[in-house]
Structure 1
Amino acid sequence: MISRTEGFITVADGERVWYETAGEGPDLILTHGLGGNAAVWYQQVPYFAQHYRVISWDQRGFGRSTNEKGNHGPVAAVSDLIEIMNLLEVDRAHVVGQSMGGWAALGTAIAVPERVESVVLACTTGGIPVGFGPDGAPPLTAAPVTARPLGEHPAVGGRLPSLDMARAYLYQALGTFGHRPPDTEFFRILKAHNYSPSDLAAVTAPVLLIAGELDDLMTPERIRSAAEFLPHAEVVELADRGHSPYFEDPHAWNELVAHFLADVRARPVR
């Protein structure tokens, strides 16, 4: 039986941020992207909770977390994540960020480097100043969620609906939960929030950057360019996958991340 807890933390400005823990062991934090909330990790939590204490959470305005003051974005996300770490008495953690979640993951590694064991940037440039989106035009703004055909979402590409309509529909539905700002507003905030080259050069944790071959939002070329800013980075490209390999092909994604984490844990303590 795998242990599980959930709850809310009231953060510094009064917002209530939801979190969940599952399993026991070294801490592994999963931070979702713009298309979902903590529930998108349903194919990762049971897998990793066998060997880690997996911590997932809803960013402000997503899922169960509030966003009454409208103070959302990377700065608030990093602050909220550190408050969750404090509440749960996390000494050191492996931190994963998918797409938008990469800004929080990398920002935490910059803010509290002594508490971050490793970083996984999954299909994200995470605030590294290399840009994102095809020719600067974010594809997620093409149509609001309410106007998309059944199962269609740019974050899972065009293949998933034809292969597994049920999971494609689930991803589409998860993106409607909560009181999140429009995609266009988040893209504006993310594009304006870049970490400095000096901050990035000071990241001491090993970083795995995952790219999807078919990802036209965070292209493999931009992911490789982003890795050049980090002193301890490696890039793995998943063939025939789009912007959300963790959702599209959880087996391959889970195995890749598990291998990276095991390798990091086998290294001498920094």
Structure 2
Amino acid sequence: MTAYHGSDGEQLSFSDDGDGAPVVMLPGGAARHPDYLADFGGVADRRRITVQLRGVGDSPMSATRERNSWWRQAEDIAALRDHLGVDRLTIVAHSAGTRLAVAYAAQYPSDVERLLLVTPPAGYLVDVPDDTDRIRDRRRGDPEFEAALLRLSEGPSDSDAEFTAWHRSAGAVGYASWGPRQIEHSRVGTWNFAAVRQFFSVPPPDDLAGRLAEVAAPVLVVAGAEDALTGVDQAVAMAELFPHGESSVIDGSGHYPWIDQPEAFAEVVADFLAGLRGRQVDGAPLRPCGDGSRKPVGRHRWHQVDRRVR
């Protein structure tokens, strides 16, 4: 592990793997150990700066509660940028980590090179109905999914071990299928319950969505068509908050597309980081709608894959 000094001078940790220009990796959870990111598809051949957020791994929590929030940890990412000696950051974030990426982009809009947001929770940013119930309905009758969904609804306990065990017992909800690869992945990465609570301790400013209009960098939002945790429609709408935002929905994928559809995800990520657009299907972008239909929209890509690939 390598260390840098956060915004308050506290020593925070990150791993530095690969060569070339850095890509900063922000894990989700919230406050889940980044081991679960694995090689993250198309990022594997790049220099990956994988951050351990406050309270995770070797990074201690701040004594000041607000500094542990996703809004204030953006200051730590700015400090990391200075430590790396670059003017702008390419950031790849997953799930709750996308909140931190959004916080950084909103507070330092000119200091973003590229922004890749994977399966983000976006209800706090957009006024679009949540479509997770519709996605879950497609899995009804699957006993493992039903049991995991019930466990998810029961809520967690407040110790680190029990909180981690709760997440793992509800793991099947996060994937498009529940095979050996998915089961193994669901057991990777522990959570810090106190860090989770403090991650959400500061509400974002009321004008947060409007601030994202100042982000001139390319932004790609990736959603899984079968993501029963954060859905599709809100993620697609989130991309439209950015002047140069696009979305790509990966068919046959849940909340962890690099596990459910590794080849398709790697292609989408590699193309975006190389400066290429996503791939259109049948010549026209499609946007999933609440009634199950898909309609053309200007900056959306539907990435079809063979559903048999798992």
Q: Structures share a fold, TM > 0.5?
A: yes
Q: How does 1:1-270 map to 2 (within 5 A)?
A: 6-34=1-29, 36-44=32-40, 48=43, 50=45, 52-69=46-63, 70=65, 71-125=67-121, 128-130=125-127, 142-144=154-156, 145=163, 147-148=165-166, 152-153=170-171, 156-157=174-175, 159-161=177-179, 163-170=181-188, 174-176=189-191, 179-181=192-194, 185=197, 189=201, 192-193=203-204, 196-263=208-275
What is the CA–CA distance in structure 1 between the aligned matches of 2:246 and 2:208, rounded to whole Å? Answer: 20
Unaligned runs of 5+ in 2: 134-148, 157-162, 278-310
Secondary structure of 2:38 counterpart: helix
Instruction: Look up the match of 1:3.
Output: none
Cα distance change on mapping 1:53 and 1:164 into 2, 3 Å: closer
Instruction: From the CA coordinates, give the structure whose radius of gyration is larger.
Output: 2
Q: Give me the TM-score of the superposition, normalised by structure 2.
A: 0.69
CA apart distance, 1:182 = 6.9
Bigger drift between 70-79 and 57-66 goes to 70-79
- Give CA deviations for 1:154-187 in whole Å, capped at 9, x if unaligned: 67336235554322322xxx124xx34275x368
SS in 2 for 1:226: helix
Task: Specify which structure has the higher proportion of helix.
Answer: 1
> Which letter does structure 2 place at the counterpart of 1:216?
A
Q: CA–CA distance in 1 between the matches of 2:187 and 2:97?
A: 22
Shift of 1:250: 3.2
Displacement after TM superposition at 1:204 (Å): 0.4
The whole-number CA distance in structure 2 between the counterparts of 1:217 and 1:228 is: 21
Distance 1:10 1:122, change over 3 A: same
Structure 1 unaligned spans of 5+: 1-5, 266-270
Q: Look up the equivalent residue of 1:66 and give its one-letter code.
A: P
The residue identity in structure 1 corresponding to 2:204 is H
Cα distance in 1 for residues equivalent to 2:57 and 2:250: 28
The one-letter amino acid of 2:224's match is G
Measured against aligned partners, the alpha-carbon deviations of 1:188-235 in whole angstroms (never above 9, x if no partner) come to 548x42653331111101110101112233211111221222211111
Tell me the alpha carbon deviations over residues 133-154 of structure 1, each in whole angstroms, 9 at most, x when there is no partner: 958xxx8664323554966426
Residue pair 1:160, 1:168 contacting (<8 A) in 2 also: no
Q: Distance in 2 between matches of 1:225 and 1:12?
A: 32
Q: Which amino acid aligns with 2:215?
A: V
Name the CA distance, whole Å, in 1 between partners of 2:36 and 2:236. 25
User: Identity of aligned pairs, percent?
Assistant: 25
